[in-house]
Amino acid sequence: MTTIPSSTTPADLSLGQAGGPRLTPDQKVYVAGHRGLAGSAVWRALSNRGFGSLVGATSAEVDLRDRGATMDFVSSTRPDVMIVAAARVGGILANDSYPAEFLSDNLRIQVNLMDAAQQFGVGRLLFLGSSCIYPKFAEQPIQESALLTGALEPTNDAYAIAKIAGIMQVQSIRKQYGLPYISAMPTNLYGPGDNFDATNSHVMPALIRRFHEARLTGAREVTIWGSGTPRREFLHVDDLASALVFLLENYDSPETINVGTGIDVTIRELAETIADVVGWDGRLAFDTSKPDGTPRKLLDVSRLRGLGWSPSVSLRDGVESTYRWFTGNLDSIRVEDGLVGLPQ
C-alpha cells in the first residue's frame, strides 16, 4: 500500500464557494487505481497541490474485485475522499475478445468501492467512467443527456454497460443517502503511464509503439486497423487530472459530466501526427477488414467549460511529451507481448 502520511487530522467536508463540498489538502484521499494511466495523473496533480495524505494500493495488495478485501481496506484507511479510477480497460480488440471479464471485473470493482465508501463514511467520491457509455450513433457532439437514448457500440458494449451501472450507483447513493458523490465521463485518454501493448492497448499508445518499432527496424509500412476515417477526441491525462480536481471542488450534481477537449481528428490524421513526431516517414496501410468502431465520438464539453475549466495540452504537444516518456521508460513501460526497446 502506498501512503503519504499527514500530520493533521482529516477535515470534514463542508460547502465550498462554488456550491460543492470543499476539497482541502489536509483530507485523506484514496485514489483507487493510482498506478494506472488516469489514477497516476490524479495522484501527481494532488501531490503538486500539496495534498499530504494520499492513499493507494496495487492490485496485488488489494484485489478490488474481492468484496471482503475492499471493505477491509476502506475500513482500515478511512479516507475522506475517494476517486474511483480503478478499472479493467483495453482497446477495441481486448473489449471485443473478453466481454465477460470487462463486464464482471468492472462491475465488482466499482460496486465494492462505492458500497465501502458509503458504509465507512467517505464524504466525497468521484467515479470515473468512459465516453463509450453513449449510443454508437449519438448526435455529435455528444451531450450528457444522450445517455441511454440508443444502442451502444457492440465491440465495447459490455464495458460500457458496467460504466453505466457505475453512474446509476452514484445517482442511487445520492438519492438514498444524500451523499455528494459525482461521476465524470472522459474522452479517449493518453499520456505517461499508458499501456503500450501491441494488441491490447488503445489507439494512441499502440500507434506510438508501432511507429517507434518501424523506425528502429527500417520498416516502410505500418498497418492500421480500419479505414482511418473514424473521428476521435483525445485528452492528455494531466488535463484529465486537472479537470477531476476542479470538479471535486466545483461540481455537485447527480448528472454525469463530460470531460474532453471538444476537438476531434480522424484516425488517419492522428497516425500522421504520431508518425511525424516519431520520425517515421513510411506508408500507412489501412486494414478495412477490421472494425472501425463508432464513426465519431466527440463530447459536448460546454457544461464543464461553463464552470470555468478548459484543457491546456494540445494534441501535438501531448503526443510529443508522451513519446518522450515512452522512449525514456522502455525498461519499465507496460507491455504484454515482448520488447519494444530495440537497439537504436
Residue ranges at the known binding site for substrate: 210, 225, 232, 292
List, as residue ranges, the binding site for NADP(+). 33-39, 128-131, 163, 186-189, 202
What cell was used for 209?
A: 509503439
Burial of 50 (0-12, 13-18, 19+ CB in 10 A): exposed
Name residue 30's beta-bridge partners: 55, 82
Q: Answer whether 64's CB lies under 8 Å from 70's CB.
A: yes
Contact 236, 318 (CB under 8 A): yes
How, if at all, do strands 81-84 and 54-56 pair?
unpaired
- Active-site residue numbers? 159
